[in-house]
Amino acid sequence: MKSWLVPCILIAWLFPASVDHCLDPPPVNFSILIATSTEERSLVTYNCIKGYHLEGKKELFCNKTSLVWDSPTPVCLLGHCPNPMLVNGQLNSSKLEPVSEEEVVTFKCDVGYILKGSNWSQCQKDHTWSPPLPMCITGQCESPKRPKHGHFKARDFNSGSNITFRCDVGYQLIGAQSLQCMDGEWSDEIPICEEILESMVETEKEPERNICETVQKLMQCQKERRNTLEELKYSLEIKKLQLEKKKAVMGTEIKEGSF
């Protein structure tokens, strides 16, 4: 493998010009190019000089079978980070063009729009904004799609509003029954209506059937137990009478023997 460093401002290409090799990598002003080459492919990496940022793909490949670069040539534009933009909003910065490293901007949306994201961002050393640049969106949510075999009720789709879903007869709701519009987005996924199968209906009825059977068995058991108690009570009464009769007979015999 061979590698080299080429400042594109000088536009000094070191790739061999041959029909069986990739063409020289395309030049990019205000950048430093790092190139490597093997028998199979070539790779170039573009790095913009200080005060410029890259727009486009940073690395380009050239397969030596096709002999063409895989992506369009990037460009280096003035400013350490891309100029911040906020549609339907305003931003505040000490200087907007060109953007310098560590510069901080703040954001504010126009009337009727809600800021989605951070209200500030800083230009980083890697030429990116952090936190990411926000957006200004309307507080209204999009009209949800009516679930198949179901419907929903809603007053409106403004931020804070709720919608409630219902399914047709023979279908059951799978998912959240009620959703709320929160800063332009619904609080949950739109539910679906799923057909209720006969097996599911039987399964739902099974607990009721089991409860009824249990109650019936308990009542029957109590009835049988009540009958058993009555029989036992009657038997005890008979034995009591028999004992009293026997006791009376024995008392009479004792009296007669004493004379």
Residues 6 or more apart whose Cβ sits within 8 Å of residue 192 = 147, 148, 150, 173, 174, 175
Q: Whole-angstrom Cα distance, residue 162 to residue 128?
A: 38
Per-residue pLDDT of 131-171, as tens digits, reads 999 999 887 888 888 999 999 999 888 888 899 999 999 99
Query: What per-residue confidence (pLDDT) applies to 122?
Result: 93
Among residues 200, 136, 145, the alpha carbon closest in space to that of 171 is found at: 200
Query: What per-residue confidence (pLDDT) applies to 85?
Result: 87
Residue 144 C-alpha from the chain's centroid: 17
Q: Which domains does the chain have, with CATH numbers?
A: 2-78 (2.10.70.10), 89-138 (2.10.70.10), 139-209 (2.10.70.10)
Q: Which residues of the chain have pLDDT under 70?
A: 1-21, 94-96, 199-210, 212, 215, 218-219, 221-232, 249-259
Q: Whole-angstrom Cα distance, residue 39 to residue 62?
A: 11
Query: What per-residue confidence (pLDDT) applies to 16?
Result: 44
Sequence letter at residue 252: T
Residue 116, token pair as written in the block: 């989605």
Q: Whole-angstrom Cα distance, residue 31 to residue 161?
A: 52
Query: What per-residue confidence (pLDDT) applies to 1?
Result: 44
Residue 146 C-alpha from the chain's centroid: 20
Q: Whole-angstrom Cα distance, residue 70 to residue 45?
A: 13
**Interior/surface letters 92-106, b for 16+ CB within 10 angstroms, e for the rest:** eeeeeeebeeebebe
Cβ 130 vs Cβ 122: under 8 Å: yes
Residue 105, token pair as written in the block: 């901007």
Query: What per-residue confidence (pLDDT) applies to 248?
Result: 73
| Cβ atoms within 10 Å, residue 151 | 12
Query: What per-residue confidence (pLDDT) applies to 18?
Result: 46
Query: What per-residue confidence (pLDDT) applies to 233?
Result: 72
Per-residue pLDDT of 1-15, as tens digits, reads 444 444 444 333 444
Cβ 106 vs Cβ 91: under 8 Å: yes
